[in-house]
Amino acid sequence: MTLEYPRSIDENDELLIKMVLEITGKFGEDYWKKLEQEHLYPGDFVREFTKQGLFKIPIPEKYGGAGLGIRETSLILEEINASGGNSQPFHGQYYMTWLLSKFGNEKQKNALFPDLGNGKIRMQSMGLTEPDAGSNTTMIKTFATKSNDEYILNGQKIFTSRIEESDWILIVARTKKYGDVSKKTDGITLFLLGPEEKEQIEFTRIKTMFNSQTYQVFLRDVAVPAENIIGNENDGFSYLMHVLNPERILIASESIGDMRWFVEKSSEYASSRMVFNRPIGQNQGIQFPISDIYAKMLSVASLRWDAATMYDNNGDIKKIGELANSAKYLASEYAWQAANVAMDTFGGYGTAVDTGIERKFRESRLYKVAPIANNLVLSYIGHNVLNMPKSY
Ligand SMILES: Cc1cc2nc3c(=O)[nH]c(=O)nc-3n(C[C@H](O)[C@H](O)[C@H](O)COP(=O)(O)OP(=O)(O)OC[C@H]3O[C@@H](n4cnc5c(N)ncnc54)[C@H](O)[C@@H]3O)c2cc1C
C-alpha cells in the first residue's frame, strides 16, 4: 500500500492504480536499494511493467495502444515513486511517445508504436543538453548537414540519459547556425536515431550521486537517413514543447510520489519512535513539518492534475507551459523539503542505508535541477507569464 489521499479520480483510474500496485508489490524497496548500490538499470521491473501493457498507455489505439493520456501516466509514475521506487529510468518513453504521436509521420508510427507497446524496442532517450549551452538550449552546437538523402551529425551532448537502454533515441540538432537565424528557436531539427545510427555514436557513462543512467555522447559524422527527422526541418523547437511540457508534468508527479513516501515513512516513524518517554511525533517540532508537507502535496497534486487535464484536452500550449512549469517547480521544491523533513524526523537513522531515507533524499534532489533548473522556471514565469524583463 501507499499513502492515500482524496483526489478526483474515476473507477478506471482506480483499476490502473491497482495494477501498478500489483507490480510495485513484487519490486519492493530492497529491489531499488540493491540497484542503486550497483548503479544498475531496473531491467526486471521494466520488463514486468511492459508485460502488463503499461507502455501501451500513451500509444494511440490505431497502433495497438490504449490511447490514454498524461493524466493516467502521471498516476502510474506517482504511484511507483510513492511505493519507494524510481520512475526516472524509464519515464522518457512516455514523452517520446507523445512527440511521435503528434508530429511523427505514418511510416514512423507504424514502424515504432507496436513494438514500443509490446516491449520489443525501447525509446527512452533524448539528447538535448550540451556542455557549452547548458540551460541556454537554443545555443546548442550539434549540427546536421544535409547530404543527398541523409544528414551528417556532428557534435557533443551531455547528460543524455538511458542511451544504452534505448534502441531508438532522439537527438536535437541545429540545421541552421545560431548566428544565421533571426529567431533563436528557428533552425532546430529533431532526429530519430535507430540501432544502425546508434552504432556510430560514442558514449561514456557519467556516474552521479544516485542511480541514473546518464551519458556523455559524441557524434562524429553520424549518418542519419533524411526520413528519420520528426516533422519539418528547422521547426523542431516548437515540437519540443510536446516533450518538455509533458516531461515537467510527469516529473511533478514523481516528486508528488516522493512526497507521499516521505510523509508515510515520517509519520509512521514519528508515531513509534520513543524519546523522553513519548513518541517524537507528539512534539510539534516534529509533527508540524510533516503535516505541512502533506498539505503542500495535496495542493501541488491538484495543480499537476490541472496541467495534465489541459494537455490531454489539447489546450493552449503556452497555458500548459505555465501550469506544467509551476507544477514541476513547486513539486520539486516541496519534495526536497519533504526529504529534509524525513531526515530530521529519523535523526541519525535517516543516514543509515537500510532505512531508504538517504537514497530517496538523494534521488529527490535531482528534479530541482533537471530537466530544467528551477531558476529558469522562475525566469520563464517572470518573463512569459508576468511580462517582466527577460533575464536569460
Ligand atoms: C541525472 C541527470 C539526467 C539528465 N538527463 C538529461 C537527458 O536525458 N537529456 C538532456 O538533454 N539533458 C539531461 N539532463 C540535463 C539537465 O536538463 C541540465 O542539467 C539542466 O537543464 C541544467 O543545465 P546545466 O546542468 O548545464 O546547468 P547550467 O545551465 O550550467 O546552470 C547552472 C546553474 O546556474 C543557474 N542559471 C543559469 N542561467 C541562469 C539565469 N539566466 N538566471 C538564473 N540562474 C541561472 C541554473 O539555475 C543552475 O542552478 C540531465 C541532468 C542530470 C543531472
CB burial readout 169-180, b (16+ within 10 A) else e: bbbbbbbeebee
What pLDDT sits at residue 32? 97
Do the beta carbons of residue 42 and residue 90 sit within 8 Å?
A: yes
Tell me: the pLDDT tens digits for 47-84? 999 999 999 999 999 999 999 999 999 999 999 999 99
Do the beta carbons of residue 331 and residue 367 sit within 8 Å?
A: yes
Region 212-217: mean pLDDT is: 97
Gap between the Cα atoms of 322 and 99, Å rounded: 19
φ, ψ of residue 356 to 5 degrees: the values are 80, -10
Per-residue pLDDT at 143 exceeds 90: yes
Tell me: the pLDDT tens digits for 338-379? 999 999 999 999 999 999 999 999 999 999 999 999 999 999
Find the 380 Cα to ligand 1 centroid distance in Å: 14
User: 283 with 359, same domain?
Assistant: yes
Pocket perturbation via mutation, ligand 1, pick of 159, 325, 384 by most ligand atoms within 8 A of CB: 159
Gap between the Cα atoms of 264 and 316, Å rounded: 36
Those residues whose C-beta lies under 8 Å from the C-beta of residue 387, and which sit 6 or more positions away, are: none
Angle subtended at Cα 127 by Cα 123 and Cα 128, rounded to the nearest 5 degrees = 135
Quote the cell numbers at residue 92: 522518457
In a domain, 5, yes or no: no
Find the 20 Cα to ligand 1 centroid distance in Å: 31
Pocket of ligand 1 contains residue 158 by CB under 6 Å: no
* Cβ count within 10 A of residue 99: 24
Those residues whose C-beta lies under 8 Å from the C-beta of residue 98, and which sit 6 or more positions away, are: 58, 70, 242, 243, 246
Do the beta carbons of residue 142 and residue 172 sit within 8 Å?
A: yes
Three-state SS at 214: strand
Do the beta carbons of residue 171 and residue 163 sit within 8 Å?
A: no
In 3D space, the residue among 142, 283, 273 whose CA is nearest the CA of residue 220 turns out to be 142
User: 379 with 243, same domain?
Assistant: yes
Q: Is the dihedral of CA 386, 69, 98, 127 positive or negative?
A: positive
> Of the candidates 88, 118, 148, which is a domain's last residue?
118
> Of the candidates 200, 234, 268, which is a domain's last residue?
234
Per-residue pLDDT at 1 exceeds 80: no
Pocket of ligand 1 contains residue 89 by CB under 6 Å: no
Number of domains in the chain: 3
DSSP state of 122: -
Q: What CATH number has the domain bearing residue 39?
A: 1.10.540.10
Q: Read off the pTM.
A: 0.97
User: 157 with 215, same domain?
Assistant: yes
Pocket of ligand 1 contains residue 12 by CB under 6 Å: no
Residue-number span of the structural domain to which 289 is assigned? 237-385
Region 291-297: mean pLDDT is: 98
User: 225 with 323, same domain?
Assistant: no
Do the beta carbons of residue 304 and residue 253 sit within 8 Å?
A: yes
User: 241 with 379, same domain?
Assistant: yes
Across the chain, what does the average pLDDT equal? 97
> Of the candidates 177, 203, 234, which is a domain's last residue?
234
What pLDDT sits at residue 392? 85
Quote the cell numbers at residue 110: 507504424
Quote the cell numbers at residue 199: 552504432
User: 337 with 242, same domain?
Assistant: yes
Ligand 1 atom with the shortest distance to the CA of 162: 8
DSSP state of 390: P
Residue type, position 222, single letter: V
In 3D space, the residue among 218, 217, 173, 213 whose CA is nearest the CA of residue 366 turns out to be 213
Instruction: Tell me the sheet residues that pair with 306.
Output: none
Quote the cell numbers at residue 219: 557524434
In a domain, 177, yes or no: yes
Pocket of ligand 1 contains residue 161 by CB under 6 Å: yes
φ, ψ of residue 206 to 5 degrees: the values are -105, 115
Pocket of ligand 1 contains residue 392 by CB under 6 Å: yes
Pocket perturbation via mutation, ligand 1, pick of 369, 372, 392 by most ligand atoms within 8 A of CB: 369
What pLDDT sits at residue 139? 96
User: 97 with 111, same domain?
Assistant: yes
Q: How confident is the model at residue 312 (pLDDT cuts 50, 70, 90)?
A: very high
φ, ψ of residue 65 to 5 degrees: the values are -95, -175
User: 57 with 84, same domain?
Assistant: yes
The residue nearest atom 19 of ligand 1, judged by CA position, is: 370
Pocket of ligand 1 contains residue 169 by CB under 6 Å: no
H or E segment and range at residue 285: helix 284-312
What pLDDT sits at residue 187? 98
Ligand 1 atom with the shortest distance to the CA of 214: 3
Find the 50 Cα to ligand 1 centroid distance in Å: 30
User: 138 with 89, same domain?
Assistant: no
User: Percent of the chain beyond pLDDT 90?
Assistant: 99
Region 319-344: mean pLDDT is: 98
Pocket of ligand 1 contains residue 159 by CB under 6 Å: yes
Tell me: the pLDDT tens digits for 8-45? 999 999 999 999 999 999 999 999 999 999 999 999 99
